[in-house]
């Protein structure tokens, strides 16, 4: 079947899923007001795929029936196909200004990654690879909206997964696996079609019950979602321009003896396979994440530039320097996207060999039997994962800081839309809050409210935290870098010159001593 329409996406959400928000059970998420902004945004994205202007760049012919499907499913192993992926995902992230971290594109790319590693998933039993391929094709051809849930509850982070009440297998039946426990942070889960339980932290050899990779519909019996407080409280698009459109929602996924059918079990009981899954991916997911990061940086740079133009700071070298740095960081971001695209093509044509050990390591990985790949994969570069661990969190924080400095008190002094509608004060506001060059006060305030939503409101605060921890604990990520073999390579390079200089000094001393004698 072809790509879905927005109406079809919305209709698919009316399925009696169990969702709890603000102490109330929401039986129909399609009619729940705080979810409407994100639902309508995603529906518009689905409609965009059928728009004659965008469809050629956003879709390709399904190998199954020739119907148009999203390019975010494309198994790209050559430059032309990877460019098609980049083009389609760039349109989607530009359409949402990089503000939605869990677009369907993200999980579509994830599923493409899983379908690209049958040699790993099926290494002990080919049925796991067959199920993975069948599920990838199902989601692709039905154009479903997926999310994933990865993180174990954080009850006591000084103890192991067994002490966190994390989702795990409690029973095997002829129909499938019965699971109990919880997972988080299930972004977009309340308005997704299905939820995928994926790998995150490496498991230890005695933690086999916690090595399940699976997916179930969001209305599966026994599955409940407890959502964080929605940020969209019904304020207008003037007062909360971003919150009212892009608040994806996050949730705690609770599995109360949920039956996962065997055809939805993609890995289980094999600690090494579980730990090797993410490092073995070609990197379609990482490419999508980098494309989104680049789009968000572009948007934030634009907002900062508009703010400076509105309050006259665009003429001051101090602020020109700040915004200029963001512009230059965009150049680096675009270069990263191009380089990661090349990395993905290279990986797709050189599948990771799970049998590789330290002797086959190029210096970018660290294979530990029973734990798996902690830092990368043998013979592969790690640009994509490093970009989302280090570069994009850094430039996102930098852009937020620049917007705060450019806006300063103007970010705070922003009356509401209702104030401008009040005839008693509207003229006063127009006098004192107008912008440079005759910019109407209402336009100036609208701009700074947009910026405040991005850096100061609940939506912006969550966004900053989300980006900082998007690829894990930022401190731990840097510790991983310190322990990578690449540091030893750098160390060895520096030591080579040090030893050479030391040897030369010794020779010079010997010659001097010989001459003196």
Task: Output the domain CATH number for residue 336.
Answer: 1.20.140.10
pLDDT given at position 364: 40
Q: Model-level pTM?
A: 0.93
pLDDT in tens, 9-41: 999 999 999 999 999 999 999 999 999 999 999
Distance of CA 184 to the CA centre of its chain: 14
Let me know whether 428 and 510 are in one domain: no
The CA-CA-CA angle for residues 417, 418, 422, to 5°, reads: 125
Let me know whether 415 and 453 are in one domain: yes
* C-alpha span between 220 and 238 (Å, rounded): 38
Residue 309 lies in a domain: yes
The pLDDT confidence band at residue 145, using thresholds 50, 70 and 90, is: very high
Residue 386 lies in a domain: yes
Residue 32 lies in a domain: no
Let me know whether 513 and 440 are in one domain: no
Closest CA to 257 of 375, 167, 190: 167
Domain hosting residue 403, numbered range? 279-486
Contacts of 140 (CB under 8 A, 6+ apart): 62, 69, 70, 73, 108, 111
In the chain, % of residues over pLDDT 70: 95
Let me know whether 337 and 384 are in one domain: yes
pLDDT in tens, 155-203: 887 888 887 899 999 999 999 999 999 998 899 999 999 999 998 878 8
Greatest distance between any 2 Cα atoms in the chain: 102
Q: What is the mean pLDDT of the chain?
A: 92
Let me know whether 376 and 419 are in one domain: yes
Let me know whether 382 and 510 are in one domain: no
pLDDT in tens, 257-290: 999 999 999 999 999 999 999 889 999 999 999 9
Report how many domains make up the chain: 2
Residue 33 lies in a domain: no
Is 350 within 8 Å of 377 (Cβ atoms)?
no
Pairing of strands 223-227, 18-21: parallel
The pLDDT confidence band at residue 392, using thresholds 50, 70 and 90, is: very high
pLDDT in tens, 458-471: 999 999 999 999 88
Let me know whether 290 and 353 are in one domain: yes
Residue 106 lies in a domain: no
String of DSSP letters for 18-58 = EEEETTEEES-GGG-GGGHHHHHHHHHHHHHTTSTTTHHHH
Going by the DSSP 8-state scheme, the letter that residue 154 receives in this structure is: -
pLDDT in tens, 420-432: 999 999 999 999 9
Let me know whether 293 and 409 are in one domain: yes
Let me know whether 462 and 502 are in one domain: no
Q: What is the dihedral of CA 223, 229, 233, 238, to 10 degrees?
A: -110
Residue 135 lies in a domain: no
Let me know whether 451 and 493 are in one domain: no
Residue 107 lies in a domain: no
Let me know whether 511 and 408 are in one domain: no
Distances, alpha carbon 80 to alpha carbons 73, 265, 345, 379, 513, in Å: 15, 33, 10, 24, 67
Going by the DSSP 8-state scheme, the letter that residue 166 receives in this structure is: B
Closest CA to 314 of 431, 401, 409, 436: 436
Let me know whether 455 and 380 are in one domain: yes
Residue 420 lies in a domain: yes
């Amino acid at each position: 079947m072809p790509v879905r329409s927005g109406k079809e996406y919305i209709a698919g959400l009316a399925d009696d899923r169990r969702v709890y928000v603000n102490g109330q059970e929401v039986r129909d998420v399609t009619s729940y007001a705080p979810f409407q902004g994100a639902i309508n945004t995603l529906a518009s994205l689905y409609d965009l795929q059928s728009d004659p202007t965008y469809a050629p760049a956003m879709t390709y012919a399904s190998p199954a029936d020739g119907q148009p499907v999203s390019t975010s499913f494309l198994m790209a192993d050559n430059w032309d196909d990877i460019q098609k992926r980049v083009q389609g995902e760039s349109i989607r992230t530009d359409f949402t200004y990089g503000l939605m971290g869990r677009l369907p594109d993200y999980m579509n790319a994830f599923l493409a990654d899983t379908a690209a590693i049958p040699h790993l998933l099926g290494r002990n039993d080919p049925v796991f690879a067959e199920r993975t391929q069948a599920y990838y094709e199902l989601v692709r051809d039905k154009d479903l909206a997926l999310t994933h849930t990865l993180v174990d509850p954080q009850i006591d982070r000084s103890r192991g997964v067994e002490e966190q009440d994390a989702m795990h297998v409690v029973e095997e039946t002829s129909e499938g696996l019965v699971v109990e426990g919880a997972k988080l942070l299930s972004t977009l889960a309340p308005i997704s079609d299905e939820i995928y339980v994926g790998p995150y932290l490496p498991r230890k050899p005695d933690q086999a019950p916690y090595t399940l990779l699976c997916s179930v519909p969001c209305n599966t019996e026994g599955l409940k979602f407890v959502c964080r407080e929605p940020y969209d409280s019904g304020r207008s698009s003037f007062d909360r321009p971003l919150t009212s459109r892009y608040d994806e929602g996050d949730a705690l996924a609770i599995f109360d003896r949920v039956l996962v059918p065997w055809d939805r079990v993609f890995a289980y009981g094999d600690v090494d396979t579980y730990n090797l899954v993410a490092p073995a991916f070609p990197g379609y997911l990482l490419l999508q994440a980098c494309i989104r990061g680049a789009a968000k940086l572009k948007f934030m740079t634009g907002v900062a530039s508009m703010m400076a133009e509105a309050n006259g700071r665009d003429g001051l070298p101090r602020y020109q320097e700040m915004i200029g740095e963001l512009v230059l960081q965009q150049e680096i971001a675009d270069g990263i996207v191009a380089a990661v695209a090349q990395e993905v093509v290279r990986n797709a044509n050189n599948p990771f060999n799970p049998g590789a050990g330290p002797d086959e390591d190029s210096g970018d990985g660290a294979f530990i039997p029973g734990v798996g790949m902690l830092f990368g994969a043998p013979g592969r570069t790690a640009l994509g994962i490093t970009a989302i661990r280090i570069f994009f969190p850094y430039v996102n924080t930098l852009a937020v800081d620049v917007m705060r400095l450019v806006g300063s008190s103007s970010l705070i002094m922003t009356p509401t839309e209702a104030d401008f509608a009040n005839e008693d004060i509207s003229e006063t506001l127009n006098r004192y809050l107008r912008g440079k060059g005759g910019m109407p006060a209402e336009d100036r305030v609208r701009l700074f409210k947009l910026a405040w939503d991005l850096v100061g409101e609940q939506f912006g605060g969550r966004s900053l935290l989300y980006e900082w921890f998007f690829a894990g604990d930022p401190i731990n990520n840097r510790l991983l870098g310190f322990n990578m073999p690449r540091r030893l390579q750098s160390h060895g390079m520096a030591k080579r010159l040090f030893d050479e200089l030391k040897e030369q000094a010794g020779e010079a001393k010997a010659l001097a001593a010989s001459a003196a004698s």
